[in-house]
Amino acid sequence: LMSISVLGVSAWIRDYLNNVLTLTAETRVEEAVILTYFPVVHPVMIAVCCFLILVGMLGYCGTVKRNLLLLVWYFGSLLVIFCVELACGVWTYEQEIMVPVQWSDMITLKARMTNYGLPRYQWLTHAWNFFQREFKCCGVVYFTDWLEMTEMDWPPDSCCVREFPGCSKQAHHEDLSDLYQEGCGKKMYTFLRGTKQLQVLRFLGISIGVTQILAMILTITLLWALYYDRRDPGVDQIMSLKNDTSQQLSCHSVELLKPSLTGIFEHTSMANSFNTHFEMEEL
């Protein structure tokens, strides 16, 4: 379940970053986004989580069917995945993330505003609307960027604090405070420097690691119990036969010793009677 959760978070961040990459295409900001997020989000987390889901299903089957082979395979897979996650975690913490972007590079994002609203660039329109709603910003530096870089008479509706159809036109003519005043360039710059999403992924990765350790401990305990439950019954039978044989031998030994002991007692009594008779004759 935790693997599915991490996979969902990774997929959400990937979709989130795709919108950012759409706005930053062919700029230095795009390179910064790729270097900061994609080495962690793409190759490791998604692949490991998908594999963990399959491993967890096989481990469940092995537990229900009490299959030693499946449980051993489950334990080995968890151990290998845990080592891979540990190595990647150490690398991400020790690797210093260098973001090769400056504030001046954010101004180049204005070039991506000219195609907003065109039928051929619906993906770009969606990316701008998503980013402005998510970061509560408008334009690159200020909301007037839309008036400068496009032929629009007012900003998009996604710039409104309370969004509804025609809200931007109404705010432009009545109250400009209903529009987001801060530009998206500064928000994106903070987004690249903060890497808050990476911290969320790291926390989830640590949680999965702890869960894997507990799962491996429980698997070893279950394997130990199943091993002793499925021991060869012949061993116990042999031990019981040995005990029965030793008891029978001891009984036979006692029975064999009884006649000899009886003879000894008879000879002793006869000798005693003879000695008594001899002493009486002497008297």
Q: For residue 179, what pLDDT is reported?
A: 87
Over residues 126-150, the mean pLDDT reads: 87
- Residues 198-231 have pLDDT tens digits of 677 677 777 778 888 888 888 888 888 887 776 6
Cα distances (angstroms) measured from residue 207 to each of 5, 9, 135, 210:
11, 14, 28, 5
Give the pLDDT confidence score for residue 127 in this predicted structure: 87
What confidence category does residue 244 fall into, taking pLDDT thresholds of 50, 70 and 90? low
22-37, pLDDT tens digit by residue?
777 777 676 766 666 6
Averaged pLDDT, 182-205 = 72
Name which of 201, 228, 187 is nearest 49 in CA terms: 201
**Mean pLDDT along residues 139-155:** 85
Contact 48/78 with Cβ under 8 angstroms?
Answer: no
Q: What is the pLDDT of residue 73?
A: 86
Per-residue confidence band for 271, with pLDDT thresholds at 50, 70 and 90: very low
Q: What is the pLDDT of residue 47?
A: 78
Residues 6-15 have a mean pLDDT of: 74
8 Å CB contact between 119 and 32? no
The predicted model scores a pTM of 0.58
- Percent pLDDT > 70 in the chain is 63
pLDDT recorded at residue 84: 80
Q: What is the pLDDT of residue 265?
A: 43
Burial-class residue 123 by CB neighbours within 10 Å (0-12, 13-18, 19+).
exposed
- DSSP letter string, 141-179: SSTTHHHHHSS-SS--GGGBSS--TTHHHHHHHS-GGGB
Rounded to an integer, the average pLDDT of 131-139 is 87
Domains of the chain: 2-97+197-229 (no CATH), 103-188 (1.10.1450.10)
Give pLDDT, residue 245: 53
pLDDT of residue 277: 46
Q: pLDDT-based confidence at 142, cuts 50/70/90?
A: confident
Question: Two tokens at 228?
Answer: 């002793």
